[in-house]
Amino acid sequence: MNPDLDAYAIQNLDRIITPALLVYPEFVDSNIKATLRMAGNDANRWRPHIKTAKLAATLRQLIENGVQAFKCATTLELFTACEVGARDVLLAYAVMGANAMRARQIAERFPASRVSVLIENAEQAAIWSGSQIGIFIDINPGMNRTGIAEDRPAEIVEIARELNESFRGLHYYDGHMSGVEASQRETRTHEGYAHLLEIVNALEASGIHVGEVVTSGTPAAPFAMSYPVFRNASFLHRMSPGTVVYSDMTSLEQLPGFGYQPAALVLSTVVSRPTSLYVTCDAGHKSVSADAGVPTCAVLGHPQLEPLKPSEEHLPIESLSADNLPSLGEKLYLIPRHVCPTVNNFDQALMVSKGRICGIEPVSARGHGNPLLLLGDERVVL
């Protein structure tokens, strides 16, 4: 990973308050097209998770490239996707209580968007009774986060039968493939899909048609596309990587050779030089997420710099050499290790094109919606 700093550099840096989120629409568009090539240039095979994108502007870019089906994790992300005109949105989270009521409100407000949800048992299915919301059954592929265990096909068949026409398909998020050695990842991913097909076959044998199967975050995405059964199946298969839209250190390492490039950076300022080999910038973990470990980021154009463990507002950085140590006040461009929660740290994004800031966009789907939105007060809006 060695992006050219010149391609990201901005003029008039002294007018930007840091830390700042930078989004490069041309690189976003390039990453979208790279993913479509992975999908055989069939936009219908991709249901991107918008937990990464979060900007309405980025969702519009996806739609302009032919992507119409999306996946999300919060009701605020659902609202944002429907508001920009997404035709099909899966709320890939088993919402309950007031969260489920909010999802119903959004589906009713945007009837042109087909809204679906996940369930993993009959009790959750009952929540959606009488609604027009579609339902996907969530399958646990061994990640043990959510879903029905894949070795319980009879239970899955019974739930699907009770759903009748609201049953849309299966959701199978194999995100744990990121922890598998790269040389074994395709084999292990395909083994999981073979188990998934056993569930599909059990449903079809019971007279229950599976309309869609959603699999694969970023690390497994290429292997969903290389799995031959998905190409000519009786169901529509969609992969669902979202990180690729902006790409980060992790996704660039996982998907070499696909043409991805960083499209979202954090601009920071050097605020201290505490030793001859250390500098500190203003991009602590309240700016660049630390959830994926240390280093939290890479410094673009400075391979000799190694970010260390951050605190809330400070990011100490060690240099391999005292030569070319950044000066006080110098701006550093940071590539996040995990871009999704990093984007979520910012209220606005500066849109950058050809070295200039061409606009500022709200990070529309960051955080969560107003927790009192069910009070019925129309003045409380997202």
DSSP characters over 48-104: -BTTTT--HHHHHHHHHTT--EEEESSHHHHHHHHHTT-SEEEE-S---HHHHHHHH
Residue 377 within any structural domain of the chain: no
Q: Is 152 exposed, middle or buried (0-12, 13-18, 19+ CB in 10 A)?
A: middle
- State the CATH number of the domain containing residue 190: 3.20.20.10
What are 152-179's pLDDT values in tens digits?
999 999 999 999 999 999 999 998 878 8
CA distance 23 to 247: 11
Give me the pLDDT at residue 376, please: 59
Q: Is 306 exposed, middle or buried (0-12, 13-18, 19+ CB in 10 A)?
A: middle
Q: Are residues 109 and 233 in the same domain?
A: yes
For residue 371, say if its preceding peptide bond is cis, omega within 30 degrees of 0. Answer: no
Q: Are residues 14 and 42 in the same domain?
A: no
Among 196, 218, 244, where does a domain finish? 244
Give me the pLDDT at residue 378, please: 46
Q: Are residues 207 and 347 in the same domain?
A: no
Closest CA to 180 of 229, 230, 143, 233: 143
Q: Are residues 99 and 111 in the same domain?
A: yes
φ, ψ of residue 284 to 5 degrees: the values are: -70, -170
Q: Are residues 224 and 284 in the same domain?
A: no
Give ∠ CA 179-182-184 in degrees, rounded to 5.
90
Q: Are residues 109 and 40 in the same domain?
A: yes
Among 213, 244, 275, where does a domain finish? 244
pTM above 0.85, yes or no: yes
Residue 156 within any structural domain of the chain: yes
Residue 161 within any structural domain of the chain: yes
Q: Are residues 41 and 68 in the same domain?
A: yes
Q: Are residues 38 and 131 in the same domain?
A: yes
The ranges of the chain with pLDDT < 70 are 1-2, 375-382
Give me the pLDDT at residue 380, please: 46
Residue 345 within any structural domain of the chain: yes
The residue range of the domain holding 335 is 5-21+258-362
Contact in structure between 125 and 162 (CB atoms under 8 Å): yes
Closest CA to 12 of 279, 372, 358, 366: 358
Q: Are residues 101 and 189 in the same domain?
A: yes
Contact in structure between 367 and 344 (CB atoms under 8 Å): yes
Helix (H, G, I), strand (E, B) or coil at 25: helix
Q: Are residues 277 and 178 in the same domain?
A: no
Closest CA to 246 of 86, 73, 34, 39: 34
Name the domain count of the chain.
2
CA distance 32 to 16: 28
Q: Are residues 310 and 218 in the same domain?
A: no
Contact in structure between 93 and 74 (CB atoms under 8 Å): yes
Helix (H, G, I), strand (E, B) or coil at 280: strand
Q: Are residues 266 and 169 in the same domain?
A: no
